[in-house]
């Protein structure tokens, strides 16, 4: 039996989703960088650094938003951003995992 991931229509759908999520993740970093640069007056490097640290939930604490607008943006940015990054990482793992159409996850009760 052939591997379902070798079928072009499945590979295309999987690749398209992965590509869209990758573009969304990069776009999210770009948006965060521009917004923090504008709202906080940080350098481009500091803005990109904070966007990355915030979205990866590392949170070193060396930079923090100080204006109310930046704080509110950060709340929305993190909810949306973490969701997009988790979806992207999930799509990445699905692409790497072999697909077994007859594997229902039941280990036979063991």
| pLDDT value, residue 71 | 96
| pLDDT value, residue 97 | 63
pTM over 0.75: no
More confident residue, 10 or 50: 50
Over 70: is that where the pLDDT of 110 sits?
Answer: no
Q: Do you know the residue count of the chain?
A: 110
| Tens of pLDDT, residues 72-103 | 999 999 999 999 999 888 888 876 666 556 55
Q: What is the C-alpha to C-alpha distance for residues 70 and 77, in angstroms, rounded to an integer?
A: 10
Over 50: is that where the pLDDT of 34 sits?
Answer: yes
Q: What is the 3-state secondary structure (H, E, C) of the chain?
A: CCCHHHCHHHHHHHHHHHHHHHHHHHHHHHHHHHHHHHHHCCCHHHHHHHHHHHHCCCCCCCCCCCCHHHHHHHHHHHHHHHHHHHHHHHHHHHHHCCCCCCCCCCCCCC
User: Between the CA of residue 87 and those of 27, 29, 65, what are the distances in Å?
Assistant: 15, 15, 26
| Tens of pLDDT, residues 49-74 | 999 999 988 889 899 999 999 999 99
| pLDDT value, residue 2 | 56
């Amino acid at each position: 039996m052939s591997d379902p991931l070798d079928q072009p229509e499945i590979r295309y759908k999987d690749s398209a989703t992965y590509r869209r999520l990758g573009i969304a993740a990069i776009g999210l970093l770009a948006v965060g960088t521009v917004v923090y640069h504008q709202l906080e007056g940080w350098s481009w490097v500091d803005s990109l650094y904070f966007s990355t640290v915030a979205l990866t939930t590392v949170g070193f604490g060396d930079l923090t938003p100080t204006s109310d607008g930046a704080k509110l943006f950060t709340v929305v940015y993190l909810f949306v951003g973490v969701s997009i990054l988790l979806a992207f990482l999930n799509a990445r793992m699905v692409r790497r995992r072999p697909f077994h159409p007859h594997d229902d996850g039941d280990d036979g009760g063991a």
